[in-house]
Amino acid sequence: GTEAAAGPLAVAEVRLTPILIADPPLLNTQGVHQPYTPRLIIEVVTADGTTGVGETYGDTRYLDLAAPLAKALPGHAVSDLNGLFTLAEQVCGDPAEVSDSVDVGGLRGVQTADKLRLSVISGFEVACLDALGKATGLPVHALLGGKVRDTVDYSAYLFYRYAEHPQGQGEADDWGAALDPAGVVAQARRFADQYGFGSFKLKGGVFPPEQEIEAIRALAAAFPGRPLRLDPNGAWSVETSLTVARELADVLEYLEDPASSTERMAQVAAGTEVPLATNMCVTTVREIEEAFRRGAVQVVLSDHHYWGGLRRTQQLAAICQAFGVGLSMHSNTHLGISLAAMTHVAATVPNLDYACDSHYPWQTEDVITERHVFTGGALTVSDRPGLGVELDRAALHTLHRRWLDDDGAMRDRDDAAAMRKADPDWRTPAVPRW
């Protein structure tokens, strides 16, 4: 229940730290990543002094929901995860009333109020699990029922990109530009050499589809037999999606969100044997039924943030299994706490059918003391108590300072605004773009 609990596992304090993290100029159909991206770090401290950490999206609308939850949580036990959801319902507003009022659309699918709230809860859930694990000496995967694998596979996440941010701000890196097939292959080569990734996902929807088909063909030639994925974030019409599917059928592991909306995805699925994956048209429980019934998607890519945390990701896995739909995970710009959380839950899901994708290699900054290292394209599942990561307070302070010093321009992700620095006339393209 949500009754306040006494005892060592009761929450004594919650700390919310919004931060801005460096992000390279990665391109997608809406524009380009800003030099800095907001994240929220959540610390839950129990009565016996154990601190658990969580991470989630940090845009203003998430912070607005996190604040009342942080205020209400003290007194509740970190073990009462069901109570966390009840509490959030009480203090963050009834989603039935506000449901479609925050529908800003975009790369994370439709952002309804309940999805925003679930993303916030997920950060708290992970922090509670981390604290509970540390207090009991158990890794998070054990609290979730136990790992069924010792390593979790990840795929390289390739992006078309500029060498530098159009506005000249941000942290420099030595990746250079990748704006054509040769650039994409060079990027993939570096990912494969450095981290051993065996599968590759290319973020598409940036250039006309013929050029992206060429890039995938170049990857297939450079890495024969490796699983490849292309994800234009819903930028294509049904017809274009079917053309791409036909031309790449022999090399694609799946096509990710070729068209936006369940309706269009269902039409594409009806015309191709290439499996369709999504992190855009099935992002909440209520979107599952229609999509599965219509065979619109063959793989659901969970983002544990907007699915409401690690236990809800396990529930999603069970639903997918029941309907013969594949499961994997996609990511957004994130740090090591979220990667640890992804890895723990992924380790517990028997039907994790594909390598998860992660932006992590693009992030040069972190708030944990020891960064995760991909070996053979995989991460080893930690058996240390909790998530198995330690907060780097100095780094957290620096990144929070950056957030405080920002004039507000980057506290909310806006890829179209960043693109306007290169092209003043840029507007988020209408869908379908091609």
Residues that bind ligand GKR (CB under 6 A): 26, 28, 107-108, 203, 231, 233, 279, 330-333
How far apart are alpha carbons 231 and 259 in whole angstroms? 10
CB nearer to Mg ion: pick between 279 and 338 = 279
Tokens linked to 200: 């590759």
> What backbone torsions phi and psi does residue 152 show, to the nearest 5 degrees?
-120, 125
The catalytic position among 141, 330, 372, 421 is: 330
Give me the least distance between CB of 26 and ligand GKR, in Å please. Answer: 6
Give me the least distance between CB of 154 and ligand GKR, in Å please. Answer: 13
231 makes contact with Mg ion (CB under 5 A): yes
How far apart are alpha carbons 125 and 44 in whole angstroms? 10
- Provide the 3-class DSSP secondary structure of residue 16: strand
Tokens 């369940």 sit on residue:
262
Helices 181-195/209-222 angle, 10° precision: 40
Contact (Cβ atoms closer than 8 angstroms) between residue 184 and residue 202:
yes
Partner from ligand GKR, Mg ion, none contacting 108, C-beta within 5 to 8 A by type: ligand GKR
CB nearer to ligand GKR: pick between 107 and 379 = 107
Q: Which span (58-66, 113-121, 278-286, 335-343) binds Mg ion, by CB under 5 A? A: 278-286
Distant-in-sequence, close-in-space partners of 61: CB < 8 Å, separation ≥ 6: 102, 116, 412
Query: In this chain, which of 23, 55, 256, 287 binds Mg ion, going by CB under 5 A?
Result: 256
Give me the least distance between CB of 330 and Mg ion, in Å please. Answer: 5
User: How many H-runs (helices) and E-runs (strands) does the chain carry?
Assistant: 14, 14
> What backbone torsions phi and psi does residue 229 show, to the nearest 5 degrees?
-135, 150
Give me the least distance between CB of 260 and Mg ion, in Å please. Answer: 11
How far apart are alpha carbons 244 and 367 in whole angstroms? 40
Partner from ligand GKR, Mg ion, none contacting 267, C-beta within 5 to 8 A by type: none
Q: Which span (18-26, 214-222, 279-287, 313-321) binds Mg ion, by CB under 5 A? A: 279-287
141 is catalytic: no
**Residues in contact with Mg ion, shown as a per-residue x/- string from 330 to 359 under the rule CB under 5 A:** x-----------------------------
Tokens linked to 194: 């450095």
CB nearer to ligand GKR: pick between 87 and 276 = 276
125 makes contact with Mg ion (CB under 5 A): no
- Provide the 3-class DSSP secondary structure of residue 91: helix
CB nearer to ligand GKR: pick between 46 and 313 = 313
Contact (Cβ atoms closer than 8 angstroms) between residue 21 and residue 363:
yes
203 is catalytic: yes
> What backbone torsions phi and psi does residue 172 show, to the nearest 5 degrees?
-75, 150
CB nearer to ligand GKR: pick between 77 and 255 = 255
Partner from Mg ion, ligand GKR, none contacting 363, C-beta within 5 to 8 A by type: none
How far apart are alpha carbons 317 and 325 in whole angstroms? 9
The catalytic position among 203, 304, 334, 344 is: 203
CB nearer to Mg ion: pick between 279 and 333 = 279
How far apart are alpha carbons 139 and 106 in whole angstroms? 35
Partner from ligand GKR, Mg ion, none contacting 358, C-beta within 5 to 8 A by type: none
- Provide the 3-class DSSP secondary structure of residue 246: helix
Give me the least distance between CB of 277 and Mg ion, in Å please. Answer: 7
CB nearer to ligand GKR: pick between 330 and 411 = 330
CB atoms within 10 A of CB 410: 22
Give me the least distance between CB of 362 and ligand GKR, in Å please. Answer: 9
Strand ordering across the sheet containing 51-57: 11-22, 36-46, 51-57
Query: In this chain, which of 34, 262, 279, 328 binds Mg ion, going by CB under 5 A?
Result: 279
Give me the least distance between CB of 86 and ligand GKR, in Å please. Answer: 29
Tokens linked to 210: 């013929």
Q: Which residues contact Mg ion by CB under 5 A?
A: 231, 256, 279, 330
Active-site residues, by number, are: 203, 330
